[in-house]
Structure formats: structure tokens, C-alpha cells
A and B are shown apart, each in its own frame.
Chain A
Amino acid sequence: MPALLEARGLRAGYGAGEVLHGIFFVVDTGGVTVLLGANGAGKTTTLRAVSGMLRTTGEIRFDGTRIEGRATEDIARLGVAHVPDGRGTFMELTVAENLRLGAYIRRDRGIAADLDRIFAYFPALGARSRQQAGTLSGGEQQMLAIARALLSRPKLLLLDEPSFGLAPLVVREIFALIQRIRAESGTSILLVEQNATLALALADRAYLLETGRIVIGGAADDIARDERVRRAYLGY
């Protein structure tokens, strides 16, 4: 099966400084790919590059078409849902409005049913649906961000450090959720994480990013066993 997302020779940066120096990675259809790396390695930059938020050179293929250079909103309309670092919540709008915006590009009639399903998945959101999103806790905002992304019925979900700033118990909940998404909906996922243990547990493929270059990549199990990764990120 051809990959859903493939990047080749991807370079990207902010203004004069280049952050990604030509990377290659793949997300299989229905699979989970994880990008590991320390702070400043370029993980967030990679997701932004895929989403068209930066100027890039190189090739990015999504579902067979080249998407590099396209506008963010066009890429979103192709079926890419990006949960950015910082969550990207619309703080001033209510929880319900945030969710409605997730379904913005859809024209089908299944939105209401999906909303019900979301509230079943996330009872906390249901209870707060009329509250201003800015009043939610960090964990709840993360759930809201993921729920919003799911409502667009994306082919590809981009998750930027979902564990960031959250308590360990909440992180486990979030990862259980991601596992569930993967199992039940078949959405492909590109996950960027610092928490390697949890991430590798649910990934098919993994890449290690260090200062803008991929140092190793391959099947998640192999990467988990790799010496460098174990020492640096898994702690043993």
C-alpha cells in the first residue's frame, strides 16, 4: 500500500535560519508514525511544514498529490487535521463552538451524530460545552483540541506533543485515547513527542530527529531497541 504521507528532502526554516536540513519520513495509511527528538530538534517545525505554515523546499506527498507550497487552509481541506503545539484552541469561543469549527469543512449530514459520539468519548467536554474554552484545564484543552481535529474526519492527524505540560495520569489518558482513535477509526497519525516510551508503544514507524536531521528511522520496535534511543530517551 502506498504511504499516505511521504516527505523527501524536506527543508524548512524561519526566515534566514534553516531548521530542517533535508529529511525523509513516511506515514503509512492507517498507521502511526512517531517523530522523536529533544527540544529544538525540529519536530514542531516538521509538522508546521506539512501543514503549509512555513516555506519549504523538497517534496511532500499527501495521498498521492504534492502539497508543499500550498496554503494551510487548502491542506486542511484535503484531509489533514493538525493539533498544533499550544493546542490552538479558540480561547474566547465556547467548547461547543470550538467543536463546530472542527467540522467546518464538512458538508455531510453526519456532523450531529459525530458530535454526540465525541461527547460520549469525552464526557468532560459535554459538561462544559457552553463554557469558554479558555477556562478549561490543560488536559481538557488537549482533549478539546483532539476532538476538534477528529470532527473533520481527517485522513491524517498531526499531533504536536500531546503530552506537553500535562500530569502523568492525564498523559496516560490522552495516549489511551490516541490508541483508541487508531484502532477504531483507521485514521493515520503523525505524532511528535518527547515522551518516547509511550509514543513508541503505539507507533508503527519511528524516526529520531536531531538538530534538523533524521539520524535513524524504521520500524518502531527496532528503533525502541536501538542503543542510542534507549540511552538518550528511554532511560536505560
Chain B
Amino acid sequence: MIAGRASLLAGAAVLLAPLFLFTGYHLFELTLTVATALAILGLDLVTGHTGQISLGHGAFYAIGAYVTAILMADCGVPYWATPPASALVSAATGFAIGLPALRLRGHYLALTTFALAVALPQILKYRGLEGLTGGVQGVVLVQPGPPFGLPLTPDQWLYLFSLAVAAPLFLLVRNLTRGRIGLAMVAARDHPLAAEAMGIDLAWLKTGAFAISAMITGIAGSLGAIAVQFVAPDSFPPLLSIFLFVGLVVGGIGSAAGAVIGALFVQFVPDLAEQVSKAAPGAVYGIALIAVLYLMPQGAAGALASLPQLRRRGALAAARGESPSRGGTGHVE
């Protein structure tokens, strides 16, 4: 991984370039991509690093979006003050889900989280809560404009705003995963027994990871809502959670760049697929997905980063006599 001032400046340049290169709709799509990348980053924390499969992160995205919408529309809270609130509510939900859910592993956890993704739109549509959520009609928001009279279009401002919110979170996750906590997470993922024997409190670790992950994805939802200026139950179908998962796998786990690449895939490939085939866009998308996974089974970021190491890792697995796909051990839960 390259580091240093030069790459930092280059990165900043790449991130700011869209302000000058794109306008209107494309910039809006990129703003959404930022939100999606952040959402995938959150998912990565829990699925990539801690090994807990979540097929329900769309629900946290929705929760964050709705908190923002309700605060903006019903309580007159300015848009820039809503992300922290979204963060709080999603984190609390994540904690509440994570605590019991950590007893489940693998497919059982996948179902539980997916159940959350399925349940949430139903709950949002529920007539009893219509006063709060706006029911099936949803909530419409007003597009925020740039502050202090800056010479930017609203689209440009929103893009900058989203970057400004997302960037520190990316840094936060990076520090988290590179430090002791990150090591503990990987240990919990690969060898839970050994991790426990070394004194790592798995319960706290897993629940905490879940909560932080939900928080990050919730903030992403908040950004998404502000950008789209509309939330409705059908904006957050179970498929959203699936797509976040797809983005994670395509981009590669454990990588910030991967989250961005995954977000780009999820954001733009569906439109491209429709251009290729009006009749069967789903098939084109599926083929594209499978092709990407074939060529880069570790995800895009994985392929980029591990070209020299790939041989060594495959070799170590061969040494243990089984495939590396089962997280390092021959026994499946």
C-alpha cells in the first residue's frame, strides 16, 4: 500500500475532480456513490473484519435515512445536524440487534439480518406508524443549498458535504482496524476459540462491531436521504441489503478502496446493464457480477493489493490440505 503526501494529494484530487467535471445528475449519482461506499464500509466492519454475515444492512441505511427525514420535515432540524442523530439511532439499533444475534453464526445470522431487512419496509408502511413515517407515501425533503453564499450549485455542495462527512469516518475505520481492536476482530473471525483463550471478550467485541457498523451505515443513509430528498418504504427493499453485500464482495473485504469500487459497481452497473439489454437487465447484471468474481475472487481491491502475495496465501492453504475458502479451518460451523 502506497503512503505519503503524494498519494494523499492525488487522492484528494481524484475526490474533488468530479466537482469540476460533472454537473447536475451525474454529480448527484456520485454523491449517492459516496453514501453507498460509506454504507459498504460499515458492512465491511462487521462482515469482512469480524466475519459476521449481515444481509440486513439496508435496514440500518433506512433507519438513518428516516431519522434524517423525520427530523428535517417534522422538527425543522437543519440537514447538517441530522447525521449525528441518525448515527445514534442506528448505533442503538445495531447494539440491540447485535447483542442477541451474536449467539448465531453463519447462515443463521444471515437469515436473522435478512429478516430485519424484510421486516423494516413492512414496519415503515404500517398504518399505525403513519403519523411518524408518512406511511407508503414517504417523506419529501427540501434540497439544502450551500452555506455562507458559497458559489456552488446545490449538487456541488451536497457532494462536498457528503465527502466531508464520509472522509473522517473512513479514517476512523482505518484506525480502528489497524489497531489492537482490528487485530482482535480478525482473531475473532478466524480462530474464535483461540481468541477467547487469549482473553478477548468476544461478546463485547462482536456487539460493539455490530453497533459501530450499523452507525456508519446509518450515517450513510442519512447522506442518501439528504441527497435524494425523499424517503419511502419502497426505497429500501430487501434487495438493497443484497446489493450492499454485492458491493462488498466485488470491492473486496477489508479495504476502503474496495468499498468505493463496490459502490461504483452497485451504483452504475444496473444502468449499464439496462443499456446492454432492455429485456433482461438482471441477467446482464448477474453475468457481470459473476465475471468480476471470477476474475477477482478476492474482490477488486484484493486483486490489486495482493498480486505478489496471492501465491503465498494459496500455498499456505494447500499446506493445510484444504481450500482457503472456509476461513482457514477445515471444519465448517
Enumerate chain A interface residues (CB-CB to B < 8 A): 14-17, 48, 53-54, 84, 91
Contact = CB atoms under 8 A, between A and B. Distances in A.
Contacts of A91: 331
Interface stretch (B93-101, B108-116, B185-193, B311-319): B311-319
Given A54-B318, A84-B321, A16 B312 contact: yes
Contacts of B314: 15
Interface string B46-64: 0000000000000000000
A48 B322 CA distance: 12
A84 B321 CA distance: 10
Secondary structure call for the B interface: helix
Interface residues of B, number: 9
A53 B319 CA distance: 9
A15 B315 contact: yes
Given A17-B315, A48-B321, A91-B331, 8 more contacts: A14-B318, A14-B319, A15-B311, A15-B312, A15-B314, A16-B312, A54-B318, A84-B321
B315 A14 contact: yes
20 contacts: A14-B315, A14-B316, A14-B318, A14-B319, A15-B311, A15-B312, A15-B314, A15-B315, A15-B316, A15-B318, A15-B319, A16-B311, A16-B312, A16-B315, A17-B315, A48-B321, A53-B321, A54-B318, A84-B321, A91-B331
A98 to B, nearest CB: 15
A87 to B, nearest CB: 12
A89 to B, nearest CB: 11
Pick the 8 closest A-B CB pairs, nearest first. A15-B315, A14-B319, A14-B315, A15-B311, A14-B318, A53-B321, A15-B312, A16-B311
A176 B297 CA distance: 49
A92 to B, nearest CB: 8
Contacts of B316: 14-15
B306 to A, nearest CB: 13
A17 B312 CA distance: 9
Looking at B311, B312, B316, B321, the one whose CB has the most chain A CB atoms below 10 A away is B321
Interface in B279-333: 311-312, 314-316, 318-319, 321, 331
Nearest to A55: B318
A53 B312 CA distance: 17
A177 B107 CA distance: 43
A162 to B, nearest CB: 18
Contacts of B319: 14-15
Nearest to A134: B331
A53 B321 CA distance: 7
A195 B321 CA distance: 24
A218 B192 CA distance: 46
Contacts of A14: 315-316, 318-319
A16 B310 CA distance: 11
B194 to A, nearest CB: 16
B315 to A, nearest CB: 2
Nearest to B312: A15
A53 B311 CA distance: 17
A16 B316 CA distance: 10
A48 B319 CA distance: 9
Nearest to A19: B319
A15 B315 CA distance: 4
A72 to B, nearest CB: 9
Interface string B145-176: 00000000000000000000000000000000
